[in-house]
Amino acid sequence: MPVDAATRQTRFTHIRPTLLALRQQIRDAIDVVHPDAAACLPLPDFELPERYTLAALAPALHRGLFNRRGGVSDAWRRAFDACPHAGRENAIAARELTYLWYQVVCRARYYAESTPGRTDDFHYEKTRIPKRIAAELSRVAAAPRAGATT
């Protein structure tokens, strides 16, 4: 049975505060791993979507992250090696954090468009995403610094 537009909007409104919080956590983490990321990395706008923009936002994020075969996009590959502000690991971490935002947007779209009761696990993202952010920050902190000797 299709879900009507009012139900989809209600479900989206229900998760919007979580979307806002997760977006901010991801943006803050990107600022930690790369303080000047916008200057040299192909970051998206991290716009807070509305329900009617979710369908277009997910594919746009996907095109920015991946090439046609599903690998890392050329823009990100170039940025990994060309970034003068931070090391390669930091640029990779920024991409991984951007990928988390893509996952959140996809999950939000699925939740908003699905039949109530079947997919009420969106709020699991409140615990999953912060754990992934912490893991990415730890990985970057443990990586050897460019030019460092051991």
d(CA 20, CA 35): 21
By CB neighbour count within 10 A (0-12 exposed, 13-18 middle, 19+ buried), where does 57 fall?
Answer: buried
Q: What is the pLDDT of residues 53-74, one digit of tens each?
A: 888 999 999 999 999 999 999 9
Contact 96, 79 (CB under 8 A): no
Tokens representing residue 38 in the block: 């916008």
Contact 33, 138 (CB under 8 A): no
Radius of gyration of the chain (CA): 17
Contact 8, 109 (CB under 8 A): no
By CB neighbour count within 10 A (0-12 exposed, 13-18 middle, 19+ buried), where does 124 fall?
Answer: exposed
Give pLDDT tens digits along the chain (150 positions): 456 767 888 888 988 999 999 999 999 999 999 888 888 899 998 988 888 888 899 999 999 999 999 999 999 999 988 888 778 888 999 999 999 999 999 988 888 887 766 556 777 788 888 999 999 989 888 876 654 444
Prediction pTM value: 0.86
